[in-house]
Structure 1
Amino acid sequence: MSILNVLVAFLGVFIVGFALFEWRRLRRLRQDMELLEERTGKKINDHLRATHRILASYHVQDIDQRIALLESAVNDCPEAFNGQNALGFAYLEKGETQKALDAFTNAVALHPLEKASYFDLAFAHLQAGNTDLAVKYLRKALKVDPTSRADLMADKRFAGIVDQV
């Protein structure tokens, strides 16, 4: 009987210890979840602010103001959809081809499964006189999205090189 009492006591201590361990683990998990929620909320907020600036930039006529607005958007949230692409087109409009190429390259790196990023990078290379690189990126766009061939054929920017793709 004494042995049974000792075993029950040890079992009770074990259960209390296990409960304490699990309680602490759940507290850490709750803290981790709260931190994740805070970070996610901040990321969503940053993304929304950047998206608003990107959309607002479409109505800004002054190219330098548009570039400044787009740069602030992509600096706050580089992965904001279409931010790098819009910045690239603004740089092209201003005549800064290398900066445009950099922006379009960033767009491809951030959104490697988005055919439009490859099309825009190809267009910038075509503007820079790099036909081979333009063809290369158009081929990558077709590899990413084989259904984009119709888009390519309809895109007048590539009329002179579409037969090379």
Structure 2
Amino acid sequence: MSSIWSLTNATITLLNVIVAVIGVLFLVFAYVEYTKLKGLEDKIGKLFNKTKEEMELMQKAMHKVIASYSVKDPDVKIGLLKEAESIYPQAYNLYNSMGYAYIDKKDYQKAIECFHKAIRYRPDDPAGYSDLAYAYHLMGNKELSEEYKQKALELDPQTRFWF
């Protein structure tokens, strides 16, 4: 009976040791995961702050872009748009608007440069391509005008109503 009792005590002791080791491993795993989550929380916080700052800059720039729509003098309009560019160069419609201000001044080369920037920032937006087509048309370059017109149409067949 004593040997059975010894075997049972040894088995119970072994099971206790195994459970204790599993418990320690679980605690180590939990600590590692907690540390990872804490790091992730910090990264998310930084991303949130960066996004918030970028949104504020974008809004400031967009106020200037929108304000430029009501300005008749192309030089004043370009000034507003350059201010917007210095704040947030990726602002929507910034370079398209600036390009048209240069068209109003009959400075087609600068207009073309602006429309190329619009395409660089928004390559999937057909507006930059159709604006380039228009600028090249005004310059008398029918070949490039047609090339950019076709690119705009490839991106969005509805742009046919723009031409």
Superposed pair shares fold, TM > 0.5: yes
1:163 match: none
Higher alpha-carbon deviation: 3-12 or 72-81: 72-81
Whichever residue aligns with residue 123 of structure 1, its letter is Y
Q: RMSD between aligned alpha carbons? A: 1.5
Corresponding residue number in structure 1 for 2:57: 46
Q: Does residue 30 in structure 1 map to residue 41 in structure 2?
A: yes
| Structure 2 alignment gaps of length 5 or more | 1-11
Matched, 1:66 2:77: yes
Task: Find out whether 1:113 has 2:124 as its counterpart.
Answer: yes
Aligned counterparts of 1:80 and 1:106: Cα–Cα separation in 2: 11
Matched, 1:123 2:134: yes
- 1:4 and 2:8 aligned: no
> Which amino acid counterpart does residue 56 of structure 1 have in structure 2?
A
Equivalent-residue separation in structure 1 for 2:152 and 2:106 (angstroms): 25
- Aligned ranges for residues 73-84 of structure 1 at < 5 Å? 73-84=84-95
User: Could you say which residue in structure 1 is the equivalent of 2:158?
Assistant: 147
Larger Rg: 2
Separation in structure 1 between the aligned mates of residue 122 and residue 37 of structure 2, nearest angstrom = 37
2:26 aligned with 1:15, yes or no? yes
- Which consecutive aligned stretches of 4+ in structure 1 deviate over 4 angstroms post-superposition? none
Deviations 1:69-94 (A, max 9, x none): 10121232222221110011111222
What is the TM-score normalised by the length of structure 2? 0.86
- The residue that corresponds to 1:159 in the other structure is none
Give the whole-Å Cα distance in 2 for the aligned partners of 1:122 and 1:79.
22
- Give distance in 2, aligned partners of 1:84 and 1:121: 11
Aligned equivalent of 1:137: 148
Q: Give the 3-state SS of the residue equivalent to 1:61 in structure 2.
A: coil
Mapping 1:96-107, distance limit 5 Å: 96-107=107-118
Overall identity of the aligned pairs, in %: 37
SS in 2 for 1:16: helix
Q: Please give the TM-score of this superposition, normalised by the length of structure 1.
A: 0.85
Unaligned residue ranges in structure 1 (runs of 5+): 156-165
Output the amino acid matched with 1:41.
Answer: K
Q: Deviations over 1:27-83 (max 9, x none)?
A: 111111111111111121111111110011122233222112101212322222211
What is the aligned length? 152
- 1:56 counterpart (67, 76, 98): 67
